[in-house]
Chains A and B, each alone.
Chain A
């Protein structure tokens, strides 16, 4: 790997444009797939999340500048998922919308895209978000059946049709269910992460401890009412259904490894990996002028963001390690180090992902030789990490995670009244996105 920061991308902080602010957020409680939202579609959940946001901020009948959202597991009929959700919501029907799809970074990318439009003065307000249902996932017919059906629609005469149908084989009737497997490697995300976790020698105990912190922090945040203006119940679910407030290291230690079982000393269990989850999240963004005119709060500024990708296909890097590369580029551009941040939101796809990233940033050799830095990037203060819980406890409806993180971090910054927050989200395809939020000056 060469020094990516020197060769590509912007090295100038974008300070010459106006501010884009996070006004607030709303999500529905997340729930394990096959659970209470088993029969809710992406459109249902995204609409509910938008409607809760509308109710919180009194946006009924209002034309929002643009709504951007997306889903990772998406039916082909949902080509206009976000626009359809807007039409079903209490927003004005003339609110434009577009879909984004960048795997697990989808939600964060919608925030970045809309924030940039606000900064440039193209829109005054925006709703960013994402939704995913692993329960109501699309199931496709096999390639064989699909070709037969398409040819059949083109066949004109009965003999032609019969000829096409005769190509059908029993195995063609088996449908294709979606998987979290990478198309180019055939490995699941968990198997990919198991390779990385082993490479960075992350222990089972460290992973379980991270999972435990996530559950305890999320439970404590609920108990102190932190989510009362971030979450609106849905279908009778009032808290994230994956949350185990009473879990312990002993309970987590009892779980059997589920990934990387081929090698000795497998460490990744269902307890320190995120489950398949259903849920939706939204974030209301605006210009300062918009927020003031509508008497709305301003929780935090969206400062900057950076995306990166790694070549996991040929084994040069782990699938979920791209944020490790994006981070120094963004920090350098803004003249910041880890010491300049009060909160770190590192998405817990797996405990191993977070811990491998932290280890990489602390590793002198890796930072010099692979990231092209002068030395180790730095150490993240664990007491500032995922202070209100993260995906291991809340669950991870792929595209909804970004919105959850941005809204929670913005509120955390507003509560503190000063400081900065750092976001890091890994994504399938060897991608990752990082972003900076900053508290509003009081």
Chain B
């Protein structure tokens, strides 16, 4: 699970050699640390108009050092480009070229975030072209950035004001989004926006995490607990020993349960209702792989993957959304995968299940529009886990380096993104699929 190459090129002489030879030089990413500043330097807000001014003053309210123009030679922690009012491709040149100059001054682990509007929401071709153009800009800049910097965008849905971007903006600027790059988050005005305790955004909430005995699930449970949630960790009875250890580490409760059983949702709700009263967050993390080329696929492999990764989620969601134990502001976060977006050799069953999750999330998201509940998916790319540690060396190395950040992510990166989607700050995010992949080439 250790990326030896990453450690090597970040240690003096080997790093210089890698630079001379033009080898990949993955950076040690800027990840969230309690008490660390939001960004590693002053924040530059680019873009003209009232929305940019408004966002700049919002950021000032977060006690950030905000610039409207970069001072020469000054290292910048992040650049926020407000492009919500572009109406034609010609509107892009000035702010984007200014961004280009600012990129030269971006600090290690810096952030670039654009704020704009979805192209599909306008009927004017020129406006749509300008809006869609931003997509190409962000994805290209993301590939050009080095030293662990990332580029992402926020799309203001349904005429939402720039304030609706605040929660997603804070996440994308912070170390919590270290392995998220080249992505867009669509937000709406939620009506729930407001202050949250940034140290404990989930205080007083109850969360259930399936597949929590090890790996990414255990990390999700730990991060939700860090953020203040009471966490119920769920896994199959056979994984009970590790599950109990996770529960005891984070001060949660262990529920040994096979999520594919018909009464799984009822048992989860019964446990939560008795112990905690109501359920605020369910993280569908449990998943299995049973890889085989399709030509060699058998019924058992196909059915078990679909049953665990997709059908259990459908069944549990149906019960959950019909239950009053699931809070009116309840959140569901599902684990998809870049395999479900790009496909993967030998994973037709797994990709079917994960693409299915994406379809389910988008469909349920439409149904939840207009309510205070949300459903979203997180699609991890290559993450350093026990599972990926078993991949053949060459495949693993390729998977690591074929992303803009030139490395695999860590379970914490997935967990932080899920914690964001669970937080009050993400009340305006619904029906989204957010990739945590370091802007992998796969499925880009």
Q: Which residues of A contact B (CB under 8 A)?
A: 48, 51-52, 54-58, 60-61, 90, 225, 227-229, 231-236, 238, 295-297
Supply 11 A–B pairs (Cβ within 8 Å), ascending by A: A51-B244, A54-B244, A57-B253, A58-B253, A229-B256, A231-B240, A232-B254, A232-B256, A236-B241, A238-B238, A238-B240
- B211-268, CB < 8 A from A: 237-241, 243-245, 247-248, 251-258, 261
Q: Is the CB of A295 within 8 A of B248?
A: no
Inside 8 A of B254's CB, which chain A residues have their CB? 52, 55-56, 232
Q: How far is the CA of A56 from the CA of B261 in the complex (A)?
A: 20
Inside 8 A of A231's CB, which chain B residues have their CB? 237, 240
Inside 8 A of A56's CB, which chain B residues have their CB? 244, 247, 253-254
What is the distance, in angstroms, from A56's C-beta to the closest C-beta of chain B? 6
Q: Please, which residue of chain A has its CB at the minimum distance from the CB of B239? A: A233
Q: Please, which residue of chain A has its CB at the minimum distance from the CB of B231? A: A58
What is the distance, in angstroms, from A373's C-beta to the closest C-beta of chain B? 44
Q: Which residues of B contact A (CB under 8 A)?
A: 237-241, 243-245, 247-248, 251-258, 261, 274-277
Inside 8 A of A55's CB, which chain B residues have their CB? 243-245, 247-248, 252-254
Q: How far is the CA of A229 from the CA of B244 in the complex (A)?
A: 12
Partner of B274, one of A51, A233, A238, A295: A295
Inside 8 A of B261's CB, which chain A residues have their CB? 225
Partner of A90, one of B237, B248, B275, B277: B248
Total A-B residue contacts, Cβ distance less than 8 Å: 69
Inside 8 A of B257's CB, which chain A residues have their CB? 228
What is the distance, in angstroms, from B234's C-beta to the closest C-beta of chain A? 11
Q: Is the CB of B241 within 8 A of A228?
A: no
Not counting A54-B248, A90-B248, A228-B237, a sample of 4 additional A-B residue pairs whose C-beta atoms are within 8 angstroms of each other reads A55-B252, A231-B240, A233-B241, A296-B275
A232 and B274 contact, Cβ closer than 8 Å, known pairs A56-B253, A60-B248: no
Q: Is the CB of B275 within 8 A of A58?
A: yes
Q: How far is the CA of A165 from the CA of B238 in the complex (A)?
A: 55
Q: Please, which residue of chain B has its CB at the minimum distance from the CB of A236? A: B241
What is the distance, in angstroms, from A233's C-beta to the closest C-beta of chain B? 5
What is the distance, in angstroms, from B168's C-beta to the closest C-beta of chain A? 33
What is the distance, in angstroms, from A50's C-beta to the closest C-beta of chain B? 10
Inside 8 A of B239's CB, which chain A residues have their CB? 233
Q: Please, which residue of chain A has its CB at the minimum distance from the CB of B251? A: A60
Q: How far is the CA of A234 from the CA of B257 in the complex (A)?
A: 17
What is the distance, in angstroms, from B264's C-beta to the closest C-beta of chain A? 11
Q: How far is the CA of A86 from the CA of B376 in the complex (A)?
A: 42
Q: How far is the CA of A367 from the CA of B252 in the complex (A)?
A: 52
Name the 5 nearest CB pairs between A and B, nearest first: A55-B244, A55-B247, A55-B254, A90-B248, A58-B253
Q: How far is the CA of A61 from the CA of B248 in the complex (A)?
A: 9
Inside 8 A of A61's CB, which chain B residues have their CB? 251
Inside 8 A of A228's CB, which chain B residues have their CB? 237, 256-257
Q: How far is the CA of A231 from the CA of B244 in the complex (A)?
A: 11
